[in-house]
Amino acid sequence: MKAIICEEFGPLDDLKYGDKADPVPGPGQVLIRTEAAGVNYPDGLTVQGLYQVKPDRPFTPGSEVAGEIVALGDGVTRFKTGDRVVTYCSGGYAELAVGNEATCFALPDGMDAADACAMIIAWGTSHHALKQRANIQPGESLVIFGAAGATGTAAIQIGKVMGARVIAVCSSDDKRQIALEQGADHAIGYDNLKEEIKALTDGKGADVVYDSVGGDAFKAASRFMAPDGRLLIIGFASGEIPQLPVNLTLVKEYSVVGVFWGNWTRRCPADYRSNMEELFGWYTSGQIKPLIEGRYPLAEAAEVLKRVLGRGAVGKIALVP
């Protein structure tokens, strides 16, 4: 099969597009012919050796695959060959990928493969963050940093379904327009964040902040949280891991809440499955629809990852063998 191969941690340009032996499903696994592989920010970090998980080399990056099951490992009972599924896996940037039966989800009839990939990490993270970690309530204010990206657009739509008043924060006019099109009530830039959020919340501050950016954005959020607010730590796309002035959490009485979706899915598999069923239900009823920026040939993985790491992408990007 054709696949993207990372021989050693290093620059994205060192990735190779070449031949690799077809994987074989083991007990409890299925072999999937890839229709689409989702692209995520951590994929690029992993290739460079900058992510907390460091796979043995050589390896094929990619952690989301949607497609048709072409072979079954021993003991698989929930699926049959020909079924279309999406899964969280390793080695997704390839024509064939192996997924565990326990973490595969059947696609609703006619669901686009790129949409399905978006549902796993980007939408799964945002859903878990707002539902389990923030316990967001109808009428609460939700501020989203990086709101035009894959997790940001997901957070906008999920926040609206859950009844929040959404304030999107984006770095350009074009991205702010995208955020509004995704359903945000307001879209603002990063300048004067504290003053703008206070004005938009009648002086109260933000009930929930979804922070995938870190850096100066986090520093501003630490000063505009509402009492009983929840500042969600999703990631650090700015490249700066900020320091928390803990005296502010004392006097303002808000919580700083970590969100590590991958660990949660392994720790709470039943809740994970329930979340995915809810997302697919919202999708089939037309309440949500992932924003797919584009579908690119598998061979262009390095260039696509550069755009994602450079925060130049909007919505979700998929690679197509």
pLDDT in tens, 162-192: 999 999 999 999 999 999 999 999 999 999 9
Check if the beta carbon of residue 240 is closer than 8 Å to that of residue 255: no
**Strands (DSSP E) found in 75-122:** 84-88, 96-100, 104-106
Domain borders along the chain are: 2-107+291-320, 128-262
Percentage of the chain lying above the pLDDT 90 cut: 95
Fold of 2-107+291-320: Quinone Oxidoreductase; Chain A, domain 1 (3.90.180)
User: CB–CB of 314/288 below 8 Å?
Assistant: no
pTM of the model: 0.93
Peptide bond between residue 58 and the one before it cis (omega within 30 degrees of 0): yes
* Domain 128-262, CATH homologous superfamily name and number: NAD(P)-binding Rossmann-like Domain (3.40.50.720)
Same fold yes or no, 2-107+291-320 and 128-262? no
Task: Assign 321 to helix, strand or coil.
Answer: coil
Q: Would you call 316 exposed, middle or buried from its count of C-beta atoms within 10 A (0-12, 13-18, 19+)? A: buried
Measured in whole angstroms, how far is the alpha carbon of residue 210 from the centre of its chain? 12
Q: Indicate if the pLDDT at residue 265 is higher than 80.
A: yes
Instruction: Report which of 168, 121, 172 is spatially closest to residue 147, judged by C-alpha positions.
Output: 168
Query: Is the pLDDT at 311 greater than 80, yes or no?
Result: no
CA distance 321 to 100: 21
